[in-house]
Structure 1
Amino acid sequence: MRLATVIVVTGFLVVGCAAAPASQLDAGAGCRDVHVEVVLVSDVSIAMVSADSCVDGAGSVLPAADATDRLASAAWIAELPRFDRVDASVVVSAETYPFARRSVRSYSPSELESRWGGRPARLDVGVARHGPTGPWILLPLAGVLVLGGALRAARSGSIVVIGMRAR
């Protein structure tokens, strides 16, 4: 019974911590295996965008500077929670091909705006937060309270639980 409770609570917590979808960035940036996550670090919201590699129209792997620019511009126009900075990274670039060596670059909102124009407010879908939000935080708490109440009732003898051994 303890194992089942741990599994249920862990499931609720994992579902509440899922990262933002990256499908729109995959197609728009010409990059492979894009992952995007908006995290909050010391009250700074960071859109972390990464990809295995980015290619040009001919299928050649882009240099690191061009690949991170492409990822940052795609994140700038994507529907994501509000962010204060973009950290773009690419694993394989023209300089490191065929070996993997991560290249990372940070972009401030002012740099993003000067390079790719203003970000429409309609793209901001909320504020990045740590951990589960909304009703997801209440479900594990409710489960623990119900389980505690059932165990208390069983110990007092008000209800009989079939399958439990008496000690």
Structure 2
Amino acid sequence: MRTPGPTIETERLILRPPQAEDFEPMCAMMADEETARFIGGVMAPSTVWRSLCALAGAWTIRGYSMFSVIEKSTGDWIGRLGPWQPEGWPGTEIAYGLTRAAQGRGYAQEGVSAAIDYAVDILGWDEIIHCIDAKNDASLRVAERLGARKLRQAQAPAPFSDMYWDVYGQSADEWRARR
């Protein structure tokens, strides 16, 4: 089967388009209340399936999407991150969500850095944003370590339109100057 997008390797991670075998570990991640809290909330397997298919399908429809994150040392699926801009989104986002076991190990910063490089160098994005719940301290720290600053607030599109995010970000030129 042909992969719809690239595979990117970092020192400790493999970023690749989502595949069917990602379903079970994604179900486990989205069943963990604390992990799922800021990335859509706990989801039933049927909803996770639709989410996985949306991520995979965006590679065909948009030409980009979030990557599945694979830990090189174990081969385990540990989350998803990367370019994300569904209809009505407040900008060109590099989103990120990792399993609880993968958090606090620098994987988010490592993977998001590679995804920003991809978005700036390959996709030609002029701005990179991160939509973050104001209570998500861990995500805020990742964004700030990557050089992002608070730009504005934005209302989430339906079906999450009751949510508001702090939008952190930076221009492509600011990113290039930092790396």
TM-score of the pair, normalised by structure 1: 0.33
Higher relative CO (CA 8 A, sep ≥ 6), structure 1 or 2? Answer: 1
| Bigger-Rg structure (1/2) | 1
* TM-score, normalising length: structure 2: 0.31
